C-alpha cells in the first residue's frame, strides 16, 4: 500500500498563457481582480502574475522568449492549466515518500527558487495525466516585486 502524502493545501495553480497582459485584463474584466504580485524566473524563462484566493495562488504565466517549457506546453496543448502545486512542510521528505511510492519524478532533489525563496520539485506530467504536479514548501506570505 502506498504511503499517503499529506499536503497542507493547494499552494498554487498555474495557467500557461500566450500574453500575460491580455490575461491580466481578462481576469480583471471577469472577476474584478487586481494582481496581488508578480515575479520573473530567468531559469524557467517565465513571467508570472498571481492572485491570492485564500492561501492558494492562481498564477498566470507567459514564456519570455518562446523557448521555455510554457511555450512548449502551449504549442502542444494550447493555453490552460499546466501546474498544480501542493504545499508541504518539507520538500526533501515529500520527495522521498514519492520515490518510495514509485512516483514518476522529474526532480530527484529539490530545486530552489530564488525569486520565491522556496524549495520545490516536480513530478512527471505523465504521473498526473498531463498536468505537471509539484511539491513546494514555504508560502506566498510576502508580496513579490511589482
Tell me the per-residue pLDDT of 2-37, one tens digit each, with 9 for 90 and over: 999 999 999 999 999 999 999 999 999 999 999 999
Whether 130 contacts 119, CB under 8 Å: no
In a domain, 143, yes or no: no
In a domain, 145, yes or no: no
Provide the number of structural domains found in the chain. Answer: 1
Domain around 36: 9-136
Tell me the per-residue pLDDT of 70-127, one tens digit each, with 9 for 90 and over: 999 999 999 999 999 999 999 999 999 999 999 999 999 999 988 789 999 999 999 9
Q: CATH number of the domain at 116, please.
A: 3.10.180.10
In a domain, 1, yes or no: no
pTM attached to this predicted model: 0.90
Given CA atoms 61, 63, 69, 74 in this order, what sign does their dihedral have? positive
In a domain, 21, yes or no: yes
- Where b means 16+ CB within 10 Å and e means fewer, 22-60 reads ebbeebeeeeeeebebbbebeebbbbbbbbbeeebbbbb
Amino acid at each position: 500500500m502506498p504511503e499517503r502524502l499529506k499536503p497542507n493545501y493547494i499552494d498554487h495553480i498555474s495557467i500557461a498563457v500566450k500574453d500575460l497582459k491580455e490575461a491580466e485584463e481578462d481576469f480583471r474584466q471577469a472577476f474584478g481582480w487586481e494582481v496581488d504580485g508578480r515575479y520573473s524566473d530567468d531559469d524557467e524563462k517565465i513571467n508570472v502574475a498571481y492572485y491570492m484566493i485564500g492561501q492558494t495562488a492562481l498564477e498566470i504565466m507567459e514564456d519570455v522568449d518562446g523557448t521555455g517549457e510554457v511555450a512548449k506546453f502551449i504549442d502542444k496543448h494550447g493555453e490552460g492549466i499546466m501546474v498544480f502545486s501542493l504545499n508541504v512542510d518539507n520538500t526533501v521528505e515529500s520527495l522521498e515518500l514519492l520515490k518510495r511510492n514509485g512516483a514518476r519524478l522529474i526532480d530527484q532533489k529539490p530545486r530552489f527558487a530564488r525569486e520565491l525563496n522556496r524549495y520545490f520539485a516536480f513530478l512527471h506530467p505523465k504521473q498526473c495525466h498531463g498536468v505537471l504536479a509539484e511539491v513546494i514548501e514555504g508560502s506566498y506570505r510576502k508580496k513579490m516585486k511589482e
